[in-house]
Amino acid sequence: MVNLVDFTAKASCRVIPFTSQDPSDGFEVITDPHDPISSPNGWHQYGTTSTTTTSGNNVISYKSSISGVSSQSSETNNYNYVFNSATAPTVSPNVDAARVNAFYVGNMIHDLTYRYGFTETSYNFQQNNNGLGGAQNDRVEISVQDSFGSNNAVFGTPPDGQPGQMLMFLWTYTSPQGDGALENDIVTHEYGHGISNRLTGGGTATCLQTTESQGLGEGWSDALADWTEQKSATERPFTLGSYVYTKNIRTYPYSTNTTVNPRTYATLNDLTATHSIGEVWALIWHEIYAALIEKHGFTTEKNNPDLTAGNTVALHLYIDGMKLQPCNPTFIAARNAVIQADANRYGGANKCLLWTAYAKRGLGYGATTTKVDSKTLPPEC
């Protein structure tokens, strides 16, 4: 979180760790969390500008206006604001805790996905691209406790070169109210919209427009949150929104157990809402993730894209598939792009594993746009 030219200063922030979900998991003071490859100048510098606020090259988090940022609590960019769960989210120091956590999570997603290919030339979000191509001046602007709405969050993705807009709202299901900026899965989900909208169709941000492709977008966002919060090789059902909503905001947990989550490709015939459609795609990604972990194992070195662990492979296929798929993809087109991504990067080493995961949830070799479940595999599998 500090310019690497300054070898003595250590930046830090009190946050909910990236692999945790919400305040119930506890806050930690994390020192220098930036990735030196993804953010070589740290999180608080862009061009010739250095900051001592929740403003930097990848993200700015604020309340009410772009100038409503949090300042460092002590020198060298330390942000140590202790969240008080007994008081309203809108009072100090809770507002600062929200801005700092949103800033942290947004930057962590930038740094993670940068390592896997969401870079300047792939239309990512940065204020300064350091001469590495792509359009700049488009960091993600996170408005915490935004007055535009409640019990939700939204992300606006313009084309490359214009800032991403993340609006985080307060939630009214608890007293005191819950703050979406303090639920990492919600921040990650919203940032995921920026990734899928930028990567699909080449940076135009106009290629997830059909209902089905918008549903895929919701699914990718849930799947990214699922990926970031898995901590071990043990398959763990994943839920979202439990802190602010008091329970899973999705219909079922994401689980490989078909009793826990019975949804399949054919379920789409009964679903019209994009979030519901997304539940099927995120579930399929949960199946892919679990199968890759079972085959290749798990690593906690999530920012190292050169490893062979299952979660490493999964995120490569996730990013690569988006780059390959057509504008306004269907489930079948998105599936085929992932199969092709595996062929391109891994020589098809996971082809039959992927087909098996797809087939388990009805998106097998014989699936068509009529959305009848197909459990079949290609002949070579």
Annotated binding site for Zn(2+): 189, 193, 218
Q: In this model, does residue 1 exceed pLDDT 60? A: no
Contacts of 149 (CB under 8 A, 6+ apart): 167, 169
Q: In this model, does residue 281 exceed pLDDT 50? A: yes
Give me the chain's average pLDDT, please.
96
What mean pLDDT do residues 4-9 have?
40
How deeply is 234 buried, as exposed, middle or buried, from its count of CB atoms within 10 A (0-12, 13-18, 19+)? exposed
Q: In this model, does residue 121 exceed pLDDT 60? A: yes
Q: In this model, does residue 9 exceed pLDDT 80? A: no
What mean pLDDT do residues 329-351 have?
99
Confirm whether 376 is domain-assigned.
no
Q: In this model, does residue 8 exceed pLDDT 50? A: no
Q: In this model, does residue 7 exceed pLDDT 50? A: no
Strands (E), 64-163: 78-79, 140-143, 153-156
* CATH at 91: 3.10.170.10
Domain range enclosing 276? 211-360
Per-residue pLDDT reduced to its tens digit, 210-256? 999 999 999 999 999 999 999 999 999 999 999 999 999 999 999 99
Same domain, 231 and 183: no
* CATH at 220: 1.10.390.10
How far apart are alpha carbons 217 and 197 in whole angstroms? 8
Looking only at the bridges linking them, the beta strands covering 49-50 and 45-46 are: antiparallel
CB 342, CB 363: distance < 8 Å: no
pTM, full prediction: 0.97
**What is the percent of the chain with per-residue pLDDT over 70, rounded to a whole number?**
98
User: What DSSP string describes 288-345?
Assistant: HHHHHHHHH---S-TT-TT--SHHHHHHHHHHHHHHHSPSS--HHHHHHHHHHHHHHH
Annotated binding site: 189, 193, 218
Q: In this model, does residue 2 exceed pLDDT 90? A: no
Count of domains for the chain = 2
Q: Could you list the active site residues? A: 190
What mean pLDDT do residues 342-347 have?
99
Closest by CA position to 238, among listed 262, 218, 255, 216: 255
For residue 113, the one-letter residue type is: T
Q: In this model, does residue 203 exceed pLDDT 60? A: yes
Residue-level pLDDT at 92: 95
Same domain, 277 and 336: yes
Same domain, 192 and 66: yes
Same domain, 175 and 215: no
Per-residue pLDDT reduced to its tens digit, 125-151? 999 999 999 999 999 999 999 999 999
How far apart are alpha carbons 89 and 79 in whole angstroms? 17
Q: Give the model's confidence band at 10: pLDDT under 50 very low, under 70 low, under 90 confident, else very high.
A: confident
Same domain, 245 and 115: no
